[in-house]
Amino acid sequence: MRRIAAILAATCLAGMPPALAHPDAVSAAHPGEGVAFEPHVGAWLPGGLRFVDDSGRRVTLGSELAGPPAVLVLGYLECKDLCPLTVAGVAQALDAGGLDPGAGYRALFASIDPRATPEALAAAKRERLAARDRDAWTFLAGDARSVDALAASVGFHYRYDAAHDDYAHPAGFVVVTPAGRIARYFTGVRFDPGELKAALREAAAGRAAPGPASPLLLLCYHFDPLTGRYTLTVIGVLRIFGALFLLAAAAWMVRERLARRRA
């Protein structure tokens, strides 16, 4: 029994991100506290919010949503974990869906960090997107008021960690109608091209639909081993697989005991 317990403990620690494997390095607050992606399907986005885009132009959210239906991703430029994966996943699904960039859809990335500059936005756009996709994408930054208002309207709940200068936030994006109404939510970092294409077509017609709910919520909380920042990456996945592992181990132990009794 002791041997089994030791194996379980070692396996759980090995599978955990540094945030969970090194409790002394974790802040008092739970890394995922206050972080969620709350669906507001059918809600209207505040089109008057002001932002600056990756070319330095001052724009409003409404002006950027005018035209074809849009996908809207929220994140921050310094994120090295789920943000780049999310943008890449959205771009790949859009490409695989066969929609014409800029005509069949628009794509927006809005920084939740009000310190983002147009130069940083442009650099991130070049790094995270293939050349063929860039014209359809606009990277946006705004002041704290605009950022908070946009995040609240989308239901994108994040938390800033001042000690590490990082943001804990969910991963995913929303599909928005040309009029600025939330039509669909997608969570995670990989997306079905057919579902996304159908969602954009529905949004183009002004229709909103909840779509299938994802059982997992991926949370991004950066870890940098060079600076010793211990953070959460995918807590939902770990919880589910950890629970399944413990259940399987418990079933194995019961079978072992029964076999010994019969012997």
pLDDT digits (tens, 9 = 90+) for 120-161: 999 999 999 999 999 999 999 999 999 999 999 999 999 998
115 and 165 in a common domain: yes
Say which DSSP state 113 is in. Answer: -
Burial of 169 (0-12, 13-18, 19+ CB in 10 A): buried
Sheet of 159-161: strand order equals 159-161, 166-170, 219-220
Quote the pTM value.
0.72
Q: Which residue range(s) make up the domain with 246?
A: 2-17+235-262
The pLDDT assigned to 100 comes to 85
77 and 205 in a common domain: yes
189 and 164 in a common domain: yes
244 and 198 in a common domain: no
Identify the CATH number of the domain in which residue 67 sits.
3.40.30.10
The pLDDT assigned to 234 comes to 43
The pLDDT assigned to 262 comes to 72
Who contacts 208 (Cβ-Cβ below 8 Å, separation ≥6)?
41, 42, 177, 181, 182, 183, 184, 202
70 and 191 in a common domain: yes
Would residue 227 count as lying in a domain?
A: no
Would residue 49 count as lying in a domain?
A: yes
18 has pLDDT over 60: no
71 and 10 in a common domain: no
DSSP for 26-56 reads S-SS-TTTT-EE---TTPBP-TT-EEEETTS
The pLDDT assigned to 231 comes to 41
For the chain, the domain total comes to: 2
Contact indicator for 45, 150 with CB cutoff of 8 Å: yes
237 has pLDDT over 90: no
Would residue 225 count as lying in a domain?
A: no
- How far is the first Cα of the chain from the last one, in angstroms, to the nearest whole number? 18
Would residue 72 count as lying in a domain?
A: yes
Would residue 23 count as lying in a domain?
A: no
> Does an H or E element contain 174, and which?
strand 172-176
45 and 132 in a common domain: yes
CA atoms 195, 196, 201, 207: torsion sign = positive
Query: What average pLDDT is seen over the chain?
Result: 78
Regarding beta strands 219-220 and 156-157, do their DSSP bridges make them parallel or antiparallel, or are they unpaired?
A: unpaired
Contact indicator for 170, 158 with CB cutoff of 8 Å: yes
Alpha-carbon distances, residue 140 vs 6, 61, 73, 228 (angstroms):
49, 9, 10, 30
User: In terms of pLDDT, which residue wins out, 200 or 27?
Assistant: 200
7 has pLDDT over 90: no
Query: What confidence tier does 21 reach under pLDDT thresholds 50, 70, 90?
Result: very low
Would residue 79 count as lying in a domain?
A: yes
251 and 195 in a common domain: no
200 and 137 in a common domain: yes
Of all residues in the chain, what percent are helix, strand and coil, respectively (each to 5)? 40, 20, 40
Mapped onto helix, strand or coil, the DSSP state of residue 155 is coil
C-alpha span between 90 and 73 (Å, rounded): 9
Would residue 147 count as lying in a domain?
A: yes
User: In terms of pLDDT, which residue wins out, 88 or 209?
Assistant: 88
250 and 142 in a common domain: no
Can you give the length of the chain in residues? Answer: 263
254 and 214 in a common domain: no
C-alpha span between 23 and 25 (Å, rounded): 5
pLDDT digits (tens, 9 = 90+) for 32-87: 567 889 999 999 999 999 999 999 999 999 999 998 999 999 999 998 878 899 99
Would residue 31 count as lying in a domain?
A: no
155 and 42 in a common domain: yes
DSSP for 227-260 reads TTB---S-HHHHHHHHHHHHHHHHHHHHHHHHHH
CA atoms 12, 18, 20, 21: torsion sign = positive
